[in-house]
């Protein structure tokens, strides 16, 4: 007998899962192919994710309102709250599968009381995104692009350099070189990626402060090594401001001229979240006018960036083409355990990444 699967929320990861489970339909083959471009991915790899499951599961339509109740035995989700009421509305649930390793949005006690297994899938792409935020911070603080250009293009003043024993420290004479050790890193939005970035920054010996729509518990703050500050205080104290806020409609343009005016003139702004949250003209003005020291952008208001690029002439900005999460092709392997867990529910077997 087939097992019924419901997917709570609709985003690009869950659409790919839906396509691999059901084939072309609500999610078209064109969408699935375009999802990976311009990388080349053999779509047979995506089809193989659902091998052995397509004839053994029924996938509920996108329009299904899970909170109103279904006969689903497996619930897959990435964002949202899974509480006792939702579980009771779906009384046949055997597995709650989260795409992400944090479990605090799931009522684990309620799941345990109802005999529902819970799995939370770690996502390397989120770790890579947090790494990229730290990469941009370090590259800005250590003047990486300027330093590379100086060495590559022989830009240095020979009259001011006196090597000793074949050693000439900072022969390009680059000023203002710093790092993360002893610096204050401000995290705006302490979701999964923000929490990962906070832990990494702690590892460099930085002080980490954060602001969030909802303040974390003292236990969580201790776990992540962070201290809470309201946004104005965070901006006034941080040497690096790293954006990790949710891509919500109300957050569009939240990073504006007033935001940058509250930052230290020596501070750097980093965005690996979503470009639409930043007023890019305000950022350009802040960079050109010395309101802030520099910026690292992996995400952009319009992607690919339109030409002419308003940041192209600025030496104090580092730009990458929305690649912080790594290769799109790697997502195929990242989500593969979800299909293994669905198979375990249908045919028996051990669940991976089980937390309850």
Q: The sheet that has 95-99: what strands, in order across it?
A: 57-59, 3-7, 74-77, 95-99, 117-121
Q: For 139-156, write each residue's pLDDT tens digit.
A: 999 999 999 999 999 999
* pLDDT classification of 311: cutoffs 50, 70, 90: very high
Indicate which residue of 67, 79, 102, 322 is catalytic: 322
Q: Which residue has the higher pLDDT, 135 or 247?
A: 135
What sign does the dihedral 164-167-172-178 (CA atoms) show? negative
Q: Please give the pLDDT value at position 253.
A: 80
What mean pLDDT do residues 117-121 have?
98
Give percent above pLDDT 90 in the chain.
Answer: 94
What mean pLDDT do residues 46-65 have?
92
Please determine, for residue 336, whether its predicted confidence score (pLDDT) is greater than 80.
Answer: yes
Please determine, for residue 248, whether its predicted confidence score (pLDDT) is greater than 90.
Answer: no
Please determine, for residue 1, whether its predicted confidence score (pLDDT) is greater than 70.
Answer: no
Within 10 A of 176 (CB to CB), how many other CB atoms are there? 11
Q: E strands along the chain, which residues?
A: 3-7, 57-59, 74-77, 95-99, 117-121, 184-188, 207-211, 227-228, 240-243, 268-271, 294-297, 317-319
Indicate which residue of 39, 104, 109, 303 is catalytic: 303
Per-residue CA distances from 277 to 176, 297, 320, 356 (Å)? 29, 12, 17, 36
Q: Please give the pLDDT value at position 60.
A: 96
DSSP sequence for 62-93: TT--GGG----SEEEESSS-B-HHHHHHSTT-
Q: For 59-78, write each residue's pLDDT tens digit.
A: 999 999 999 999 999 999 99
* pLDDT classification of 256: cutoffs 50, 70, 90: very high
**Is 45 among the residues known to form the active site?**
no
Q: For 184-201, write each residue's pLDDT tens digit.
A: 999 999 999 999 999 999
Q: Please give the pLDDT value at position 337.
A: 97
* pLDDT classification of 353: cutoffs 50, 70, 90: very high
Indicate which residue of 274, 276, 300, 305 is catalytic: 274
**Is 322 among the residues known to form the active site?**
yes
* pLDDT classification of 252: cutoffs 50, 70, 90: confident
Q: Which residue has the higher pLDDT, 55 or 35?
A: 35
The H-or-E segment that residue 303 falls in is none
250-266 burial: b if 16+ Cβ within 10 Å, else e: ebeebbeeebbebbbee
**Is 34 among the residues known to form the active site?**
no
Which domains occur in the chain, in start order? 3-121+328-347 (3.40.50.720), 126-159+177-319 (3.40.50.720)
Q: Please give the pLDDT value at position 249.
A: 74
């Amino acid at each position: 007998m087939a097992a019924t699967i419901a997917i709570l929320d609709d985003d690009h990861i869950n659409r790919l899962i839906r396509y691999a489970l059901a084939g072309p339909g609500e999610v078209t083959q064109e969408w699935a192919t375009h999802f990976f471009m311009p990388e080349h991915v053999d779509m047979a790899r995506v089809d193989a994710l659902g091998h052995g499951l397509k004839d053994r599961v029924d996938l509920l339509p996108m329009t299904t309102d899970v909170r109103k109740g279904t006969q689903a035995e497996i619930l897959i989700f990435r964002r949202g709250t899974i509480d006792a009421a939702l579980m009771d509305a779906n009384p046949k649930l055997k597995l709650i599968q989260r795409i992400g390793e944090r479990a605090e949005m799931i009522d684990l006690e309620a799941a345990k009381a109802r005999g529902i297994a819970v799995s939370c899938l770690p996502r390397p792409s989120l770790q890579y995104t947090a790494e990229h935020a730290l990469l941009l911070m370090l590259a800005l603080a250590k003047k990486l692009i300027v330093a590379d250009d100086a060495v590559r293009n022989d830009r240095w003043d020979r009259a001011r350099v006196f090597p000793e024993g074949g050693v000439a420290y900072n022969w390009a004479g680059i000023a203002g070189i710093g790092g993360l050790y002893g610096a204050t890193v401000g995290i705006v939005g302490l979701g999964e990626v923000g929490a990962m970035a906070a832990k990494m920054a702690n590892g460099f010996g930085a002080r980490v402060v954060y602001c969030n729509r909802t303040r974390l518990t003292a236990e969580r703050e201790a776990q992540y090594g962070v201290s809470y500050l309201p946004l104005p205080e965070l901006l006034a104290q941080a040497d690096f401001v790293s954006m990790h806020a949710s891509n919500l409609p109300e957050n569009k343009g939240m990073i504006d001229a007033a935001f940058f005016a509250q930052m230290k003139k020596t501070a750097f702004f980093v965005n690996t979240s979503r470009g639409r949250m930043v007023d890019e003209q305000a950022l350009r003005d802040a960079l050109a006018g010395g309101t802030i020291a520099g910026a690292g952008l992996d995400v952009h208001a319009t992607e690919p960036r339109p030409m002419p690029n308003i940041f192209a002439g600025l030496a104090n900005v580092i730009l990458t083409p929305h690649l912080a999460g790594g290769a799109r092709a790697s997502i195929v392997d990242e989500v593969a355990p979800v299909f293994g867990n669905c198979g375990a529910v249908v045919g028996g077997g051990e669940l991976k990444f089980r937390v309850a």
